[in-house]
Protein backbone atom coordinates (compact mmCIF):
# COMPACT_ATOMS: atom_id res chain seq x y z
CA UNK A 1 0.00 0.00 0.00
CA UNK A 2 1.25 3.48 -0.86
CA UNK A 3 0.46 6.58 1.13
CA UNK A 4 0.10 10.20 0.11
CA UNK A 5 -0.41 13.05 2.51
CA UNK A 6 -1.92 16.47 2.64
CA UNK A 7 -2.82 19.05 5.27
CA UNK A 8 -5.59 21.59 4.96
CA UNK A 9 -9.33 21.08 4.58
CA UNK A 10 -10.74 18.89 7.34
CA UNK A 11 -13.66 20.16 9.40
CA UNK A 12 -15.64 18.72 12.31
CA UNK A 13 -19.29 19.55 13.03
CA UNK A 14 -21.85 18.19 15.47
CA UNK A 15 -25.34 17.25 14.37
CA UNK A 16 -28.54 17.64 16.36
CA UNK A 17 -28.60 13.84 16.72
CA UNK A 18 -25.29 13.91 18.57
CA UNK A 19 -23.38 12.35 15.67
CA UNK A 20 -20.27 14.10 14.39
CA UNK A 21 -19.79 14.97 10.73
CA UNK A 22 -16.14 15.11 9.70
CA UNK A 23 -15.48 16.70 6.33
CA UNK A 24 -12.20 16.56 4.47
CA UNK A 25 -10.64 17.72 1.22
CA UNK A 26 -7.64 16.25 -0.59
CA UNK A 27 -6.70 18.67 -3.41
CA UNK A 28 -5.21 17.36 -6.63
CA UNK A 29 -2.26 18.62 -8.63
CA UNK A 30 -0.21 19.71 -5.62
CA UNK A 31 3.46 18.83 -5.27
CA UNK A 32 4.73 17.03 -2.16
CA UNK A 33 8.32 16.35 -1.14
CA UNK A 34 8.70 12.67 -0.28
CA UNK A 35 12.45 12.80 0.30
CA UNK A 36 15.09 15.52 0.31
CA UNK A 37 17.59 13.03 -1.10
CA UNK A 38 19.77 12.86 1.99
CA UNK A 39 23.45 13.69 1.68
CA UNK A 40 24.09 12.12 -1.71
CA UNK A 41 20.74 11.37 -3.37
CA UNK A 42 18.28 13.46 -5.33
CA UNK A 43 15.02 14.81 -3.89
CA UNK A 44 11.86 12.93 -4.78
CA UNK A 45 8.53 14.63 -5.21
CA UNK A 46 5.02 13.42 -5.97
CA UNK A 47 1.91 14.83 -7.61
CA UNK A 48 -1.57 13.27 -7.53
CA UNK A 49 -3.25 14.09 -10.85
CA UNK A 50 -6.89 15.26 -11.03
CA UNK A 51 -9.35 12.37 -10.54
CA UNK A 52 -6.49 9.90 -10.06
CA UNK A 53 -8.67 7.96 -7.59
CA UNK A 54 -11.76 7.93 -9.82
CA UNK A 55 -11.78 4.20 -10.63
CA UNK A 56 -12.81 2.91 -7.17
CA UNK A 57 -14.48 6.15 -6.09
CA UNK A 58 -16.90 5.96 -9.04
CA UNK A 59 -18.00 2.40 -8.20
CA UNK A 60 -20.43 2.69 -5.25
CA UNK A 61 -20.01 -0.97 -4.29
CA UNK A 62 -16.25 -0.59 -3.77
CA UNK A 63 -15.74 -0.13 -0.03
CA UNK A 64 -13.42 2.69 1.02
CA UNK A 65 -12.56 3.40 4.66
CA UNK A 66 -11.74 6.45 6.73
CA UNK A 67 -9.09 5.43 9.27
CA UNK A 68 -6.76 6.79 11.90
CA UNK A 69 -3.12 6.53 10.85
CA UNK A 70 -3.71 3.95 8.08
CA UNK A 71 -4.77 1.36 10.67
CA UNK A 72 -7.72 -0.86 9.79
CA UNK A 73 -7.89 -1.60 13.52
CA UNK A 74 -8.92 2.04 14.08
CA UNK A 75 -11.75 2.77 11.64
CA UNK A 76 -13.85 5.92 11.86
CA UNK A 77 -16.25 5.36 8.94
CA UNK A 78 -16.64 3.43 5.69
CA UNK A 79 -18.67 3.58 2.54
CA UNK A 80 -19.82 0.00 3.06
CA UNK A 81 -21.30 0.96 6.43
CA UNK A 82 -23.07 3.96 4.89
CA UNK A 83 -21.07 6.44 6.97
CA UNK A 84 -18.65 7.74 4.33
CA UNK A 85 -19.69 9.86 1.36
CA UNK A 86 -17.14 10.67 -1.37
CA UNK A 87 -17.26 13.30 -4.09
CA UNK A 88 -14.64 13.60 -6.84
CA UNK A 89 -13.87 16.62 -9.01
CA UNK A 90 -11.00 18.00 -11.08
CA UNK A 91 -9.93 20.10 -8.08
CA UNK A 92 -10.13 17.67 -5.18
CA UNK A 93 -11.46 14.51 -3.63
CA UNK A 94 -13.81 15.53 -0.83
CA UNK A 95 -15.57 13.37 1.73
CA UNK A 96 -17.89 13.44 4.70
CA UNK A 97 -17.64 10.85 7.44
CA UNK A 98 -20.30 10.33 10.10
CA UNK A 99 -19.14 9.32 13.57
CA UNK A 100 -22.09 8.07 15.60
CA UNK A 101 -22.56 8.66 19.32
CA UNK A 102 -21.79 4.98 19.91
CA UNK A 103 -18.47 5.26 18.04
CA UNK A 104 -17.60 8.38 20.03
CA UNK A 105 -17.56 6.19 23.16
CA UNK A 106 -14.83 3.93 21.70
CA UNK A 107 -11.45 4.59 23.31
CA UNK A 108 -9.40 5.15 20.15
CA UNK A 109 -12.10 7.46 18.73
CA UNK A 110 -12.06 9.54 21.93
CA UNK A 111 -8.26 9.70 21.69
CA UNK A 112 -8.46 10.83 18.05
CA UNK A 113 -11.05 13.52 18.82
CA UNK A 114 -8.90 14.79 21.69
CA UNK A 115 -5.84 14.95 19.42
CA UNK A 116 -7.84 16.67 16.70
CA UNK A 117 -9.30 19.23 19.11
CA UNK A 118 -5.78 19.94 20.39
CA UNK A 119 -4.59 20.55 16.82
CA UNK A 120 -2.25 17.54 16.83
CA UNK A 121 -3.96 15.36 14.18
CA UNK A 122 -4.79 17.68 11.30
CA UNK A 123 -3.56 16.00 8.12
CA UNK A 124 -5.03 13.67 5.50
CA UNK A 125 -3.28 10.79 3.79
CA UNK A 126 -4.81 8.47 1.14
CA UNK A 127 -3.85 4.82 1.07
CA UNK A 128 -3.70 3.50 -2.49
CA UNK A 129 -2.12 1.06 -4.92
CA UNK A 130 -0.84 1.68 -8.44
CA UNK A 131 -2.54 -0.72 -10.91
CA UNK A 132 -0.30 -3.12 -12.87
CA UNK A 133 1.36 -1.69 -15.98
CA UNK A 134 -0.22 -4.47 -18.05
CA UNK A 135 -3.68 -3.08 -17.30
CA UNK A 136 -2.94 0.66 -17.00
CA UNK A 137 0.34 1.46 -18.80
CA UNK A 138 0.31 5.17 -17.92
CA UNK A 139 -0.82 4.87 -14.30
CA UNK A 140 2.26 6.82 -13.24
CA UNK A 141 4.88 8.92 -14.97
CA UNK A 142 8.33 10.02 -13.80
CA UNK A 143 10.13 13.13 -15.00
CA UNK A 144 12.97 15.47 -14.16
CA UNK A 145 12.21 18.68 -12.33
CA UNK A 146 12.70 21.94 -14.21
CA UNK A 147 16.38 22.86 -13.54
CA UNK A 148 15.25 26.37 -12.63
CA UNK A 149 13.19 24.91 -9.78
CA UNK A 150 15.55 22.19 -8.58
CA UNK A 151 16.95 18.75 -9.33
CA UNK A 152 14.24 16.47 -8.01
CA UNK A 153 12.71 13.40 -9.62
CA UNK A 154 8.96 13.96 -9.85
CA UNK A 155 6.44 11.14 -9.95
CA UNK A 156 2.90 11.89 -11.10
CA UNK A 157 0.20 9.42 -10.08
CA UNK A 158 -2.31 9.46 -12.94
CA UNK A 159 -4.46 6.52 -11.87
CA UNK A 160 -4.53 4.70 -8.55
CA UNK A 161 -6.77 2.33 -6.59
CA UNK A 162 -7.92 4.16 -3.46
CA UNK A 163 -8.65 1.92 -0.48
CA UNK A 164 -8.72 4.33 2.45
CA UNK A 165 -8.18 7.87 3.63
CA UNK A 166 -6.52 8.46 6.98
CA UNK A 167 -6.29 11.23 9.53
CA UNK A 168 -2.58 11.63 10.29
CA UNK A 169 -0.27 13.75 12.40
CA UNK A 170 2.26 14.62 9.71
CA UNK A 171 1.16 14.44 6.07
CA UNK A 172 3.47 14.78 3.08
CA UNK A 173 1.27 17.37 1.39
CA UNK A 174 0.68 20.77 2.95
CA UNK A 175 -2.94 21.55 2.16
CA UNK A 176 -5.30 18.97 3.68
CA UNK A 177 -6.12 19.90 7.28
CA UNK A 178 -8.97 19.54 9.72
CA UNK A 179 -10.90 22.57 10.91
CA UNK A 180 -13.24 22.32 13.90
CA UNK A 181 -16.58 24.11 13.64
CA UNK A 182 -20.00 23.80 15.25
CA UNK A 183 -23.26 23.77 13.29
CA UNK A 184 -26.09 26.02 14.33
CA UNK A 185 -29.16 24.04 15.38
CA UNK A 186 -31.03 25.09 12.24
CA UNK A 187 -28.21 23.81 10.04
CA UNK A 188 -28.04 20.49 11.85
CA UNK A 189 -31.78 19.96 11.74
CA UNK A 190 -31.86 20.51 8.00
CA UNK A 191 -28.84 18.41 7.18
CA UNK A 192 -29.57 15.19 5.37
CA UNK A 193 -27.98 12.02 6.77
CA UNK A 194 -25.33 10.22 4.79
CA UNK A 195 -26.43 7.50 2.42
CA UNK A 196 -24.53 4.58 1.03
CA UNK A 197 -23.33 6.07 -2.31
CA UNK A 198 -20.89 6.53 -3.32
CA UNK A 199 3.55 2.09 -4.85
CA UNK A 200 4.18 5.15 -3.10
CA UNK A 201 8.04 4.98 -3.50
CA UNK A 202 9.60 3.01 -0.73
CA UNK A 203 12.61 5.06 0.35
Q: What angle do CA 10, 8, 115 make, to 5 degrees?
A: 55
pLDDT at 186: 32
**103 C-beta neighbours (distance < 10 Å), count:** 17
pLDDT digits (tens, 9 = 90+) for 15-67: 878 889 999 888 899 988 888 888 888 999 999 999 999 999 999 999 999 99
> Mean pLDDT of all residues in the chain?
82
pTM score above 0.95? no
pLDDT, average across residues 169-177: 60
Residue-wise burial string across 2-28, b where 16 or more C-beta atoms lie within 10 A, e elsewhere: bbbbbbbbbebbbbeeebbbbbbbbbb
pLDDT digits (tens, 9 = 90+) for 33-47: 888 888 888 999 999
Amino acid sequence: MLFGGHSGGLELRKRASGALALRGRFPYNKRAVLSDGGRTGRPRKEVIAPRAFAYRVNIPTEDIHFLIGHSYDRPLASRGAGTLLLNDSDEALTFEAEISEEMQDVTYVRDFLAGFTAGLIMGLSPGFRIPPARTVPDAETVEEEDPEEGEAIIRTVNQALLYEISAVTRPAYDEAQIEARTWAASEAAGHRPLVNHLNRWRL
